[in-house]
Amino acid sequence: MEPQQDAPDTASTAPTEPPAEVGEEVVGSYLDVDPAAASEGAPADAVPTEPVEGAFVIGDRVQLTDPKGNMHTVVLEPGKQFHTHRGAIEHDSLIGAPEGSVVHSTNNTGYLAFRPLLADFVLSMPRGAQVIYPKDAAQIVGFGDIGPGMRVLEAGAGSGALSCSLLRAVGTGGTLTSYERREDFADVARGNVAAFLGEVPGNWSLRLGDLDQHPAEETVDRVVLDMLEPWLVLPTVAAALRPGGVLVGYVATVTQLSTYVEALRAQGVWTEPHAWETLLRPWHAVGLAVRPEHRMVAHTAFLVTCRRLAEGAVAPLRARKARRI
């Protein structure tokens, strides 16, 4: 929805602006007033200010949050309105306003206006396949040690949620190659990445097909597998991932986890797999009423990381404590 922004005082008091009629809506134009003229009570020349740093522009995606915390997303277009049960919000009242403004609907309900964070965008984006939640995407980037300039291989692309995080992480100097078996999912992923980043990046290759088609000569630094049966592509992954590179697996069920981890061990070219899950529990903290929230984001998937050994290297056997009988 589009909130309507209150006019700045400088705009409403500048003598060059005609007084508004009773009941007329006043929309600020962000004007500068000459301080010397204003101090003498003389008419001040109103001149346009420099654009506010980070101000909303036409085509921006804006997230509006109402007093109850409900979020709405709009794409700014001149002359348009965003309608809610709390009244309409003019797009024009947002265009030119700084991020972090409060805008008001026609029934005077205030809305916070920000550009959506990636985590917000992911939870509201159109979906083909189920998205990888922000809590898992953050750990994939962090524990996968994915950074600027790296070459990353991803399967499958799904709805493009993780692709957005990976493209941000590798920057313009890195590359991302994503495989997706379903054309409809690939279309959704392409649209979501373009919507969030403003375009389809030139360093992103979205390929329709199976990852086992990936040529071994296209060496990569990191691999992320979000597949039903990731163990089937391990020979292809091992051939393409450079020694020392990190493999991250994302699997949903205990049976998948068991099969995948044992397949990694059996292949003999990986370090000992490390598997975990993350449960995200928010807290209610208002005054002395501090307690866990009643709802939480519990199990979404298991993450598994390991590293590629050098060709011909055999990892020492992991020492394990003997069980006492």
Nearest by Cα to 131 from 322, 301, 262, 311: 301
CB–CB of 260/249 below 8 Å? yes
Question: Which pair of tokens denotes residue 294?
Answer: 């009643």
> Residue 51: what pLDDT?
65
Question: Which pair of tokens denotes residue 60?
Answer: 């921006």
Condensed to tens digits (0 to 9), the pLDDT of residues 10-37 reads 333 333 444 433 333 333 333 333 434 3
Condensed to tens digits (0 to 9), the pLDDT of residues 198-232 reads 999 999 999 999 999 999 999 999 999 999 999 99
In terms of Cβ atoms closer than 10 Å to its own Cβ (0-12, 13-18, 19+), residue 80 is: middle
CB–CB of 196/167 below 8 Å? no
pLDDT tens for each residue of the chain, 325 residues long: 444 444 444 333 333 444 433 333 333 333 333 434 333 443 444 334 556 788 999 999 999 999 998 899 999 999 999 998 889 999 999 999 999 999 999 999 999 999 999 999 998 888 888 889 999 999 999 999 999 999 999 998 999 999 999 999 999 999 999 999 999 999 999 999 999 999 999 999 999 999 999 999 999 999 999 999 999 999 999 999 999 999 999 999 999 999 999 999 999 999 999 999 999 999 999 999 999 999 998 999 999 999 999 998 888 877 777 667 6
Residue 185 CB contacts under 8 Å (≥ 6 apart), including other chains: 128, 129, 156, 157, 158, 159
Nearest by Cα to 58 from 102, 140, 2: 2
Condensed to tens digits (0 to 9), the pLDDT of residues 138-157 reads 999 999 999 999 999 999 89
> Residue 27: what pLDDT?
35
* Strand 220-225 versus strand 241-251 pairing type: parallel
> Residue 119: what pLDDT?
92
> Residue 316: what pLDDT?
85
> Residue 53: what pLDDT?
82
CB–CB of 4/103 below 8 Å? yes
> Residue 129: what pLDDT?
82
CB–CB of 209/160 below 8 Å? no
Question: Which pair of tokens denotes residue 198?
Answer: 């403003």
* Strand 220-225 versus strand 204-208 pairing type: unpaired
Q: Please give the single-letter amino acid code of residue 72.
A: H
Give the helix/strand (H/E) hosting 35: helix 35-39
Residue 252 CB contacts under 8 Å (≥ 6 apart), including other chains: 300, 301, 302
Per the document, the length of the chain is 325
Across the strands, what pairs with 61?
75
Question: Which pair of tokens denotes residue 245?
Answer: 């590179």
Q: What are phi and psi of 36, to 5 degrees?
A: -65, -45
